[in-house]
Amino acid sequence: MTDFRPTTLIAAAIFAAVFIWTAPAVLAADIEAGKRKAETCAACHGLSGNSTDPAIPSIAGQPAQFISTQLYFFREGSRKNAQMLAIASNLKNADLNDLAAYFSVQKAAPAKTLAPEKIETGKRLSQQFNCVACHGATLLGQQHIPRLAGQHAEYLRTQLRGFQAGTRFDMDGNMTSAARALPAAEIDVLADYLASLGTP
């Protein structure tokens, strides 16, 4: 009955990855404006969006829609974080779009290295628990879905545990469902694996 052809899906996934890459649909003016507005962000995230504190996410090279959407949910108080609420509450939608445009074109810092056997396990988990279905075959994120490749492992662990506990805001229930399927003992290796993946 079903009409799903694996080859088509793989082709679609590859196409999606290429498409996202080659089409950062942002205007130069937005990026420049975003850079000027990014000073407050730089204190914690770094000027290029590569934070040095592993508890603070890397936002360099994240999909623009992901950044603007998260800023929006911080501002509206849906995703709870006192510091981000304070910062975002003074920003208008146009500011959020400018910041998203700026950080989305910054280059992510090189990934951490990881032992080969951990890479094997992590890769298996990322497929078994369907991370790749939404975050993309190379886990670079797409649209409103974040890049996981090269993200700080500590930050990823905190988010996954938050989703499991139901304390992390989840717009559509996808991550709560995905994270609760994940055995607690597997979170560490999965997070380390994701942190070890390179970004272009």
Of 112, 195, 127, the residue nearest 157 (C-alpha): 195
Token match 């951490």: residue?
112
Binding segment for other proteins among 46-54, 103-111, 112-120, 184-192 (CB under 8 A)? 184-192
List of E strands, the chain: none
Minimum distance between the CB of residue 158 and other proteins, rounded to whole angstroms?
13
Rg (CA), the chain: 17
Rounded to 5 degrees, φ, ψ at 95 are: -60, -45
Q: How far apart (Å, rounded) are the C-alpha atoms in residues 125 and 37?
A: 38
Q: Does 176 bind other proteins (CB under 8 A)?
A: yes
Residue type present at position 84: M
Q: Identify the residue among 12, 42, 47, 55 touching other proteins (CB under 8 A).
A: 12
Using an 8 Å Cβ cutoff, are 71 and 146 in contact?
no
Tokens encoding 66: 């992901």
Q: Does 89 bind other proteins (CB under 8 A)?
A: no
x/- letters, 32..71, toward other proteins (CB under 8 A): ---------------------------------x--xx-x
Which SS3 state, helix, strand or coil, does residue 142 take? strand
Q: Identify the residue among 73, 85, 87, 123 touching other proteins (CB under 8 A).
A: 73
Tokens encoding 25: 């649909």
**Residue 1 or residue 43: which is nearer to other proteins going by CB?**
1
Minimum distance between the CB of residue 178 and other proteins, rounded to whole angstroms?
9
Residues contributing to the site for other proteins (CB under 8 A): 1-5, 8-9, 12-13, 15-16, 19, 25, 27, 30, 65, 68-69, 71-73, 76, 93-94, 96-97, 100, 127-128, 130, 132-134, 142-144, 161, 164-166, 171-174, 176-177, 179-186
